[in-house]
Structure 1
Amino acid sequence: MTTPSPNQTVERDGDMRPAKAQIEPISSAVHVCIDMQNIFSKGGLWETPWMERVLPTIVTLTAWQAERTIFTRFIPPETPDQRPGRWQKYFRRWAQATRAHLPLCQLELVSELARFAPPALVVDKPGYSAFSAPQLYSLLTERHIGTVVLSGAETDVCVLATVLSAVDFGFRVVIVEDALCSSLDVGHDALMTLYRNRFSEQIDLVTLDELNSLWQCEEHTSVA
């Protein structure tokens, strides 16, 4: 089999796309950091093992773009019957995660990130996707945001839901690979492959170092 050169197009699952595409500069963007809360940190009810590992990267990103950062928080209901459909079954299974039982400090941002708000904004959401908070879409469109830069937890749950919602709304999505955390390598790795192979027109994957060189400086760009 002949190995394609770096600039050749290659066929993947019926698609033709560059083997290594040039990533366009990033502008009119915000950083949306998904659910970096105590409940997912070490010792939390839903501890995410990678969180400690990626937290320094997210802190660096947020410190650089604090005025253009939006933190989301996943907020469970007081009781299961406050949510529709299968969410009721979910929260009966996870009754200890409802606000009737969970210490509310578990829902706060981890302290390393909470110090950035303000100027960063905090948006509470009832579901997996950041866009389950209806005010988020309005906030972004009112500020003429075209690109969403994503970090946070977890790659294969809330980040995944947010990525696909953002794509459906027409935003360019930039995923900072070294600023994501998950509970399982297999789910994280599978999604990185999926995004590269099937969503290359709508999703870019970068490291924080690459983001630093791609995100163009903008004036008057606070999301507050």
Structure 2
Amino acid sequence: MAVTTLTEPITDAVHLSVDMQNIFARGGVWETPWMERVLPVIVEIAGRYATRTVFTRFITPMNATDRPGRWRRYFDKWHRATRAELPSSELELVPALRRFVPPARLIDKPAYSAFSESPLVEFLLQKNVSTLVVTGAETDVCVLASVLDAVDLGFRVLLVEDAVCSSSDAGHDALMTLYRARFSEQIELIKSEELPLLWCKDM
């Protein structure tokens, strides 16, 4: 096991797992091939910290016209992802993670960020959460938007490197470089094997 480079214990934390849904799994409209690789890691983290886990779901509009501005153009292109055409099961969590709810919490959102038009901030503040351990899909879209919003809100952010996935290798790699080079004071990169060393179950 690698020796962690982090020295500060993880306390008052929530595992925030972004958009691990069927629509991003194999055969989905937005298939993310890496998901199969990171899913066992996220299952292990969710299983260890089930009561401290929040799963988000990206809920698409019924029709493109239900969303404002350029979202309409986006969903005109991706009309197959609108709820008028998409089976509702595609927006559910993948089966391997669905079993953790409850006690894990499920929060829906209509846009990329986990904080966009969702009750996430209020939930975290009510629970006195100060740290987010982030996993999920996609590294360079919904995870990116969620992480930057979390930084703006003042949360300590730990991104689990081997538990985030993208459909773009270049996008994923660019984000890892960006975090290390520009956000090192606010975003910490961590391997899943390091989590138990710093985050005790009862914290």
- Count the aligned residue pairs: 200
3-state SS of 2:119 partner? helix
Identity of counterpart residues, as a percentage? Answer: 60
Partner of 1:106: 90
Q: CA RMSD in A?
A: 1.3
- 1:59 Cα offset (Å): 0.3
- Match of 1:211, SS state, is helix
The amino acid that maps onto 2:189 is: L
Partners of 1:180 and 1:133 lie apart in 2 by 23
Listed as ranges, the matches of 1:15-26 within 5 Å are 22-26=6-10
**What residue is the counterpart of 1:67 in the other structure?**
51
Deviation at 1:65, TM superposition (A): 0.3
Give yes or no for the alignment of 1:90 onto 2:68. no
Is the 1:27–1:218 Cα contact (8 Å) retained in structure 2?
no
Q: 1:128 to 1:212 in 2, by over 3 A?
A: same
Report the alpha carbon displacement of residue 216 of structure 1 after superposing the two structures with TM. 3.1
Structure 2 unaligned runs (5+)? none
The correspondence of residues 1-224 of structure 1 with structure 2, limited to 5 A, is 22-218=6-202
Letter in 2 for 1:153: A
C-alpha distance in 2, partners of 1:39/1:119? 23
Looking at CA atoms only, which structure, 1 or 2, has the larger radius of gyration? 1
TM-score where L is the length of structure 2: 0.95
Stretch deviating more after TM superposition (64-73 or 128-137): 128-137
Partner of 1:4: none
Give the match's secondary structure for 1:141. Answer: helix
- Where 1:132 maps in the other structure, the secondary structure is coil
Is this contact kept in 1: 2:50–2:104, CA < 8 A? yes
Q: Secondary structure at the match of 1:188?
A: helix
Unaligned runs of at least 5 residues, structure 1: 1-19, 220-224
Preserved contact between residue 33 and residue 72 of structure 1 (Cα < 8 Å): yes
In the TM superposition, what is the alpha-carbon distance from 1:186 to its structure 2 partner?
A: 1.1
How far off is 1:218 after superposition? 2.9
Q: How big is each residue's C-alpha offset from its partner over 1:60-97, in whole Å with a ceiling of 9 and x where there is no partner?
A: 00000000000000000001111111001111111111
Tell me how far apart the structure 2 counterparts of residues 27 and 142 of structure 1 sit (CA, whole Å).
15
Q: Which whole-Å deviations, capped at 9, do the CAs of 1:122-170 have from their partners, x for residues lacking one?
A: 1000000000143100000111100011000000000000000000000
Are the equivalent residues in 1 in contact too, given 2:34–2:165 (CA < 8 A)? yes
Distance 1:133 1:69 in 2: 19
Give me the TM-score of the superposition, normalised by structure 1: 0.87
Maintained 8 Å contact 2:107/2:118: no
